Amino acid sequence: MIRRRSLLAGAAAATVAACDRAPEVTGGFSGASADRGHLLRTQREWPAPAVSRRVDVLIAGAGVAGLAAARALRQRGVEDFALLDVEDSAGGNSRGGAVNGIACPLGAHYLPVPGDAAPEVQHLLEELGLRKRVNGRWRYDERHLCHAPQERLFFQGQWQDGLLPLNGVGATTRAQYARFAQEVEAARRTGAFRIPLRNPAPLLVLDAQPFTAWLDARGFTDAQLRWYLDYCCRDDYGAGAAAVSAWAGLHYFAARHGFHAPDADDSGERDALLTWPEGNGFLARALAAPLGDRFRGGQLVLRIAEHRHGVDVDAWDFGRQRVERWQAAQCIVALPSFVAAQVIEQPPAAVTRLARQTRHAPWVVANLHLRAPPWPARGSSLSWDNVVYGGEGLGYVVATHQDLNPAPGPTVLTWYCAPGETARADVLRQPWTHWRDRAMSELSAPHPDLPRHLTRVEVARYGHAMPIPVPGTLAGLPRPAPSGRLRFAHSDWAGYSIFEEAFTMGHLAGGKA
């Protein structure tokens, strides 16, 4: 017999189940358009230019280097210039986006507080009001500094503060942490490690060997230390410790905050950094804002030809579906090396050499919109940067971490993955649902309830996201020296990709053009 109480109980259970059921997840691709960039490779013939335009300086490429060059031109009083980019918005790998109204990064998502070796970046931050002198000392606007808690690691079944594995590790592991910290401190004291890099000569011995070989030679065999260092290399360069040079493996530690072995009062590195909901899209937008119609998006540079009286730059205008010719006295080439070598007629030997030696890492950035933050898990509180030990991805950052509203609400988790150099074709071939599932597979371990909060996923793909500093990179790195009417600025010329390098190169190129 079906009783009324049983019927009501069944109805209540069905209601609860319906509320807990995962919502329908929508999604798609966002960010850079692979189809646009690949037209250079797939389309051999283009119509004749339909219109000609004249400027004093033409900048090809509106990533951080191109934007910095435009700013430097304006500082010199040069206003007659144009900045072309294949994408509709400026910023390159530093662009930001939004999912369901919540700002989030599409690539680079923070900027460490720059040291005195990067005065150009310091001046930019001062111009933007992010840093100022107070009682004779530089102070950064705390609203833009990453709030605590900054980072945590899911390790041994629970969250811990910091990214260096600590839960349950023994004395042998801690001893290797301490010894590696001593090696980093010795490297830092040489003064050779700087950002941006000025003189690579003292670093060539380290540049000549893989990071893993350097670690093996010094007896750094602990599994937890090796995992952490491999993670750092994948996070910084898109390739693991076996692929990058010993210089690259030590660089970020020795050039910035060092490596702090944990003790009773310290759980790992805490580097002062600036971050925003849209990541470095905040900086890209600030740099692009004064340009007005001098920035021309949706322009695929097809040809750069230097001649006796100037430079001709042909570009395909996606909006008007025509080729336009730009005639300039000078051109700043702020394009990846392999693109520059393809579009410059009779490229300088340095450009060809750089393009041949540079290997690029692909990246995938998946923005996951949640109707509520992940359910609290064992251990530390939700941090800005959250990493899963042993995960194939690089963890996630929380777009709303800087929000001061104490009430939990919808948020976006930005999950990063560097799938490896050989996965480039796979990155571009797989549907967006493939990357959704890979992100969820990794993040569901620490957050079993994540699927029922997920509403939308947007995936950005980068086939050539950043140069990989493999052994020999510094030794073979040509200088971005001017060649006639051409100037060069791109992080490829540094051998690795960070904001400070790209911005400084762009600033120098714009200051000379």
345 part of a folded domain: yes
CA–CA–CA angle 226, 231, 234 (5° rounding) = 125
Return the DSSP state at 512: H
Q: How far apart are CA 457 and CA 247, in angstroms?
A: 37
On whether the CB atoms of residues 435 and 414 are closer than 8 A, the answer is no
Residue 368 lies in a domain: no
Sign of the dihedral through C-alpha 403, 407, 410, 411: positive
CB 168 within 8 A of CB 405: no
Question: If we measure between CA atoms, which residue out of 108, 89, 104 comes closest to residue 501?
Answer: 108
Which pLDDT belongs to residue 4? 32
Does residue 196 have a cis peptide bond before it, meaning omega lies within 30 degrees of 0? yes
pLDDT given at position 102: 97
pLDDT at res. 22: 54
Domain count, the chain: 2
Task: Say yes or no: 235 and 310 in one domain.
Answer: no
> Distance between CA atoms of 292 and 467, rounded to whole angstroms?
31
Among the three residues 208, 237, 268, which one is the final residue of a domain in this structure?
Answer: 268
Is 84 found in the same domain as 44? yes
- The residue range of the domain holding 298 is 34-95+280-358+473-512
Is 231 inside any structural domain? yes
Spatial distance between the Cα atoms of 493 and 487, rounded to a whole number of angstroms: 12
Please list the rounded mean pLDDT of every run of 10 residues in the chain (513 residues). Answer: 35 37 83 90 92 98 98 97 97 96 96 94 97 90 92 95 94 96 96 93 97 98 98 97 98 91 56 92 98 97 95 98 98 97 96 97 97 79 94 95 82 97 93 97 94 96 96 94 92 96 97 80
Q: Does residue 403 form part of some domain?
A: no
Of 244, 268, 292, the residue at which a domain comes to its end is: 268
* Whether the model pTM is above 0.75: yes
Q: Are residues 253 and 329 in the same domain?
A: no
Q: Same domain for 212 and 353?
A: no
Is residue 340 one of the residues assigned to a domain?
Answer: yes
Quick one: 217 and 301 in the same domain? no
- What is the C-alpha separation between 346 and 337, in angstroms, rounded? 14
Q: Are 158 and 167 in contact (CB under 8 A)?
A: yes
CATH number where 174 lies? 1.10.405.10
Does one domain contain both 354 and 482?
A: yes
In a domain, 244, yes or no: yes
Strand partners, 270: none
Residue where a domain stops, chosen among 236, 268, 300: 268
Q: Would 189 be classed as within a structural domain?
A: yes
Are residues 477 and 341 part of one domain? yes
Whole-Å CA distances, 94 to 29, 237, 297, 336: 17, 15, 15, 14
Question: Residue 513 and residue 498: Cα distance in Å, rounded?
Answer: 23
Residue 102 phi, psi (nearest 5)? -105, 120
479 and 351 in a common domain: yes
Q: 235 and 329: one domain?
A: no
Judge whether 58 and 84 are in contact, CB under 8 Å.
yes
- Pairs from 308-315 (Cβ < 8 Å, separation ≥ 24): 310/485, 311/58, 311/485, 311/486, 313/58, 313/60, 313/84, 314/46, 314/49, 315/84
Tokens of 365: 């950035």
Tokens of 152: 């945590």
Q: Which residue, among 246, 492, 220, has the nearest Cα to 351 in the 3D structure?
A: 492
Predicted pLDDT of residue 24 = 87
Look at residue 379 in the predicted model and tell me its pLDDT: 77
Three-state SS for 388-443 is ECCCCCCCEEECCCCCCCCCCCCEEEEEEECCCHHHHHHHHHCCHHHHHHHHHHHH
Are residues 242 and 294 located together in one domain of the fold? no
Residue 336 sits in a domain of what CATH number? 3.50.50.60
Same domain, 91 and 55: yes
383 found inside a domain: no
Domain co-membership, 179 together with 230:
yes
